[in-house]
Amino acid sequence: MTLRVLLVDDELEFLEPTAARFRRRGLTCATARNGEEALVVLGSDPFDCAVIDVKMPGMDGLELLRRMRHDHPDVPVVLLTGHASVQLGVQGMDLGAFEYLLKPVEMDDLLDAVRRAAGA
Q: Domains of the chain: which residue ranges?
A: 4-103
User: Is the backbone of residue 100 left (phi > 0), alpha (psi -120 to 50) or beta?
Assistant: beta
Question: How many whole angstroms separate alpha carbon 18 and alpha carbon 31?
Answer: 10
Amino acid 45: pLDDT: 93
Amino acid 84: pLDDT: 64
Question: How many whole angstroms separate alpha carbon 44 and alpha carbon 10?
Answer: 20
Q: State pLDDT tens for residues 75-93.
A: 999 999 876 666 787 889 8
Domain 4-103 = CATH 3.40.50.2300: yes
Amino acid 81: pLDDT: 84
Note the Cα 98 to chain centre separation in Å: 10
Low-confidence ranges of the chain (pLDDT < 70): 83-86
pTM confidence score: 0.96
Spell out the residues 6+ positions from residue 107 whose beta carbon is closer than 8 angstroms to its own.
18, 21
